[in-house]
């Protein structure tokens, strides 16, 4: 067989049949659902009198509409949202689909819950009615988002009519500078290639920088690949990924373990495999990145100024001007020192334990600025419990952060965590779209450490100045 990319290997291993030049019937190993993009799919299924093909390879989570107030028993006050949750339970019960319900101790964001319990394994195809399903590339699984019609298709057949993607390789070499993270790296990459720079492609990330990233950092990177328009993101699963999965999947033992290890060792792009597009980035060019506009490619390094003559984020002048009008900024301005009223820490991009550790490191011994409301929403019940047992929650509460229940929360503000017009928010989330966190609210995407620095100083601040101080104090 000719040389294949990792992407082609995964597609080949899941192709039930080829439908035409562009489409295959692709088998799904795992299908994740949430309460808001699945109801109409179940309704369609019931209308047609169709069954769920493989219930045991489907799982549902209440994540988007759930309130995150720090109460023991959560009650969804909004009647429509409460109906979405009860409807999800009814659908799951009817079809025997595993569910992480509203008051389940392990409830959380789908993309946090699934991997942390070992449900995501190298070589899988994982599909979900949520665009951030690209996250699973971090473990060498092909994950991608779909719409509700396709959710219905997967429920009924455990397959999807899948349009083949082009392949892109992004190589990153070198050591990430102190004070920078996978979030800064991905914001930099998106700012260079654009919000549609990877449209139509599945990206494979590789290089020494990627190899050195923890799995959680790789989740962040692959999660945001969709913000460059990517149809998927992959990282070949090496020892780090294998260890992560085996620690969380106690069913993979004995002979099956040997089989799995042998298979996972074959999951890489062949040396002479051809990619349709290639990029190279040096890690030494990464600085803390922050968005200034309303598209994720409108991002700059914290020590840079907003320019309207450079980069794909400003290719359309009218859109760039509109973005500046919305965020109340001007060409030539820096983001450094810009006051924020709100800080949000959480989401499927940055709501995991390593993210919270990074926040705690900055917050320890400091206080949230008086005019700032800072919320921490762990990605899942398991993350929350871990943070509490490590003392992170105490540090954050002591510093004046709100320590809340898990969920998607203010990432898309579908629950009651909504910002008011004109509120400026330092956010660890993935989208700075107009109105995303509330009508007229302004979102600046950044890393967890940067968001923590904004919380304690009350303004967008270069977290590297903190790191230097600490190095001196040590």
Partner 1 sequence: MTDHHRIEGIAAPMALANLDTDQIMPKQFLRGIDKSGLAEGVFHDMRFDAQGTLRDDFVLNRPEYAGARVLVAGPNFGCGSSREHAVWGLQQFGIQAVIAPSFGEIFYSNAMNNRLLLVMLSEDEVAALIADVEPPGRAAVTIDVAAMTVQSATCSARFELAPRHRDMFMKGLDSIGASLAHASRIDAFAEQHWRQYPWLKDVARRTRSRLSA
**Residues 212-251, interacting with partner 1 (CB under 8 A):** 229, 231, 249-251
Q: How far is the CB of 35 from partner 1 (least distance, A)?
A: 9
**Residue whose CB is less far from partner 1, 81 or 327:** 81
Total residues contacting partner 1 by CB under 8 A comes to 93
Strands (E), 373-423: 373-376, 402-403
Report the b/e string of 188-205 with b at 16+ CB within 10 A. bbbbbbbbebbeebbbbb
Distance CA 444, CA 428 (A): 8
DSSP at 334? B
Q: Is 158 in the site for partner 1 (CB under 8 A)?
A: yes
Q: How far apart are CA 283 and CA 179, in angstroms?
A: 12
Quick one: which of 164, 252, 308, 333 contacts partner 1 (CB under 8 A)?
A: 252
* Of 423, 427, 435, nearest in space to 460 by CA: 427
- For the CA atoms of the chain, what is the radius of gyration? 21
308 near partner 1, rule: CB under 8 A? no
Residue selected from 157, 166, 214, 334 as contacting partner 1 according to rule CB under 8 A: 157
Label residues 293-324 b or e (16+ Cβ within 10 Å = b): bbbbbbbbbbebebeeeebbbbeeeeebeebb
Residue ranges in 183-202 that form contacts with partner 1 under rule CB under 8 A: 195-196, 199-200
Kindly state the smallest distance separating residue 100's Cβ from partner 1, in Å.
8
Euclidean distance between CA atoms 209 and 206, whole angstroms: 8
What residues numbered 62-101 form the site for partner 1, per CB under 8 A? 64-65, 78, 80-81, 83-84, 87, 96-99
Among 18, 307, 330, 439, binds partner 1 (CB under 8 A): 439
Bridge partners of 99?
60
Q: For residue 345, list its beta bridge partners.
A: 376
Contacts of 266 (CB under 8 A, 6+ apart): 9
Residues 364-393 that bind partner 1 (CB under 8 A): none
99/217 with CB nearer partner 1: 99
Closest CA to 183 of 225, 237, 212: 225
3-62: contacts with partner 1 (CB under 8 A): 13-14, 16-17, 19-20, 22-23, 25, 27, 29-30, 36-37, 39-40, 43, 48, 50, 53-59
Among 131, 240, 277, 423, binds partner 1 (CB under 8 A): 131
Q: Looking at beta carbons only, is 310 or 394 nearer to partner 1?
A: 310
Minimum Å gap between C-beta 124 and partner 1 is 6
Could you say whether residue 147 binds partner 1 (CB under 8 A)? yes
Residue 61, CA distances (Å) to 84, 98, 111, 149, 463 in order: 11, 9, 10, 19, 34
Binds partner 1 by CB under 8 A, chosen from 315, 331, 339, 371: 315
Least distance from partner 1 to the Cβ atom of residue 326, Å: 11
Rank residues 352 and 464 by Cβ distance to partner 1 and give the closer one.
352
Judged by CB under 8 A, which of 1, 271, 318, 471 binds partner 1?
318
């Amino acid at each position: 067989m000719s040389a294949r990319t990792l992407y082609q290997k995964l597609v080949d291993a899941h192709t039930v049949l080829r439908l035409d030049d562009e489409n295959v019937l692709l088998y799904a190993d795992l299908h994740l659902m949430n309460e808001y993009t699945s109801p109409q799919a179940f309704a369609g299924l019931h209308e047609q009198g169709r069954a769920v093909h493989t219930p045991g390879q489907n799982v549902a989570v209440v994540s988007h509409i759930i309130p995150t107030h720090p109460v023991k028993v959560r009650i969804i006050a909004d009647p429509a949202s409460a109906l979405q949750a009860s409807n999800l339970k009814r659908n799951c019960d009817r079809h025997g689909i595993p569910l992480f319900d509203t008051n389940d101790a392990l409830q959380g964001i789908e993309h946090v819950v699934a991997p942390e319990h070992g449900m995501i394994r190298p070589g899988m195809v994982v599909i979900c009615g949520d665009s951030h399903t690209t996250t699973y590339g971090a473990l060498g699984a092909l994950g991608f988002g779909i719409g509700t019609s396709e959710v219905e298709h997967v429920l009924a057949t455990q397959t999807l009519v899948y349009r083949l993607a082009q392949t892109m390789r992004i190589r990153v070499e070198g050591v990430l500078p102190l004070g920078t993270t996978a979030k800064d790296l991905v914001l930099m990459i998106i700012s260079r290639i654009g919000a549609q720079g990877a449209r139509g492609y599945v990206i494979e990330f590789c290089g020494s920088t990627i190899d050195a990233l923890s799995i959680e950092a790789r989740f962040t990177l692959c999660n945001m690949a969709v913000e460059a328009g990517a149809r998927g993101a992959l990282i070949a699963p090496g020892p780090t990924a294998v260890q992560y999965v085996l620690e969380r999947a106690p069913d993979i033992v004995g002979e099956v373990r040997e089989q799995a290890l042998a298979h996972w060792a074959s999951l890489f792009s062949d040396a002479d495999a051809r990619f349709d597009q290639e990029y190279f980035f040096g890690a030494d060019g990464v600085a803390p990145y922050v968005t200034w506009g309303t598209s994720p490619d409108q991002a700059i390094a914290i020590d840079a100024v907003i320019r309207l003559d450079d980069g794909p984020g400003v290719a359309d002048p009218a859109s760039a001007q509109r973005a500046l009008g919305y965020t109340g900024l001007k060409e030539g301005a820096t983001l450094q020192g810009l006051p924020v009223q709100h800080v949000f820490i959480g989401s499927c991009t940055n709501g995991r334990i390593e993210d919270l550790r990074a926040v705690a490191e900055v917050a320890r011994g400091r206080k949230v600025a008086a005019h700032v409301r800072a919320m921490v929403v762990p990605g899942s019940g398991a993350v929350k419990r871990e943070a509490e047992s490590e003392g992170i929650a105490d540090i954050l509460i002591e510093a004046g952060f709100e320590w809340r229940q898990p969920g998607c929360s203010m990432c898309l503000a579908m629950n009651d965590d909504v910002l008011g017009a004109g509120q400026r928010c330092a956010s660890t989330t993935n989208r700075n779209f107009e109105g995303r966190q509330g009508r007229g609210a302004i979102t600046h995407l950044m890393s967890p450490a940067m968001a923590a620095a904004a919380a304690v100083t009350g303004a967008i601040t270069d977290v590297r100045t903190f790191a230097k101080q600490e190095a001196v104090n040590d």
